[in-house]
Amino acid sequence: MQTGYYSAAAGMVTQFNRLDTIANNLANVNTNGFKQDNLIVGDFMRLYKEARDELPHENNTKEGAAFINRTMARVPQIVDAYTDQSVGGLQKSSNPLDFALSREGLFFAVKTPEGIRLTRDGAFTVNDEGTLVTKQGYEVLPDDYFQSEQGITFSNVDSSIEVDKNGQISTNIPNSVKLTLNKKLLILQPENIKLLKKEGDNLYKFDDIKSLTPVGESGAVVQGFVEKSNVNAVKMMTQLIETNRLVGMYQKAMDTQMNDMNRDAIEKIAKKA
């Protein structure tokens, strides 16, 4: 069996993985707070430039040449994946319960049936019980939740709700324009962003959530705005076209390899007959 066929097949699988990631990014281009995923495709030149001083054999030797030749035969493959946590564009809304975070690496904390999760989607609302929740119905947590285990609630007479840049909520005194302090939004900042695990509903899981210290003076909360997705639709479409073309090229290479193998097999059988 010719190795070129296997190489083309492996290269096509790599491009299929890229297509899945690009399609997911494009599907969430209008999802509030969504962060795009990216894949790193490793090839010989990139790996060689990064590790040429750490090769297992000295240059200009037979062993070194054999190692390089074996490495060059490897096809491009996914070597790493990461989530781009850069801040998306902030869009003004008419909802005082919409909040955006203007700094990278900060998250709101919400309570889900599976436990506490992190999110950048600050499009909140108030449910029938007067509790601040996400659009999916998950309870938005205050900074004292680990002590009080209580959420953020509002009464029917709270006609004015204001939130400062640190997430401190203030509501009006009944029949008055004066404000009184309410709860404060729980804002967390994991030290190692790579430890976050993406889940559905634009949520992130952090295994040791209680080890995180609330960010009291974040200065990043913007009321009346929502953070849009950081997906660049034009860039994603360009990558989509490029990936589709690569899939076509690998397919043609596989067809050529298969035709050559079939021709060789037919010729050998004919000679033996």
Residue 81 has what pLDDT?
A: 85
* Mean pLDDT score across all residues of the chain: 84
**pLDDT, tens digit (0-9, with 9 covering 90-100), for 76-104:** 777 778 899 999 999 999 899 999 999 99
Given a contact cutoff of 8 angstroms between Cβ atoms, the answer to whether 153 and 97 are in contact is no
* Residue written as token pair 């119905």: 137
- Listed in order, strand segments (DSSP E) in 48-178 are 77-83, 90-92, 99-101, 107-112, 115-119, 124-126, 132-134, 139-140, 161-163, 168-172
Instruction: Give me the mean pLDDT over the 11-39 stretch.
Output: 91
Q: What is the pLDDT of residues 215-232, one digit of tens each?
A: 989 999 999 999 999 999
pTM of the model: 0.77
| pLDDT: which is higher, 116 or 60 | 116
Q: Residue 36: pLDDT above 70?
A: yes
Region label for 60, one of left (φ > 0), alpha (ψ between -120 and 50) or beta (otherwise): left
77 and 10 Cβ atoms separated by less than 8 Å: yes
Radius of gyration of the CA atoms of the chain, in A: 27
* pLDDT band at residue 66 under the 50/70/90 scheme: low
102 or 6: which leads in pLDDT: 102
Checking if the pLDDT of 45 tops 70, the result is no
Give yes or no for residue 22 having a pLDDT over 60. yes
Predicted confidence at residue 54, as pLDDT, reads 58
Counting beta carbons within 10 angstroms of the beta carbon of residue 73, is it exposed (0 to 12), middle (13 to 18) or buried (19 or more)? exposed
Token couple for 66: 């054999």
pLDDT at 19: 92
219 or 64, which is more confident? 219
Alpha helices in the chain (DSSP H): 3-27, 44-51, 62-72, 145-148, 233-272
Residue range 12-37: mean pLDDT, rounded: 92
Give tens-digit pLDDT for 157-213.
777 889 999 999 998 877 667 888 899 999 999 988 888 999 888 999 999 888 888
User: pLDDT digits over 122-150, tens only?
Assistant: 999 999 899 999 999 999 999 999 898 89
Helix 44-51 and helix 62-72, axial crossing angle in degrees, nearest 10: 140
pLDDT of residue 119: 96
109 touches 24 (CB < 8 A): no
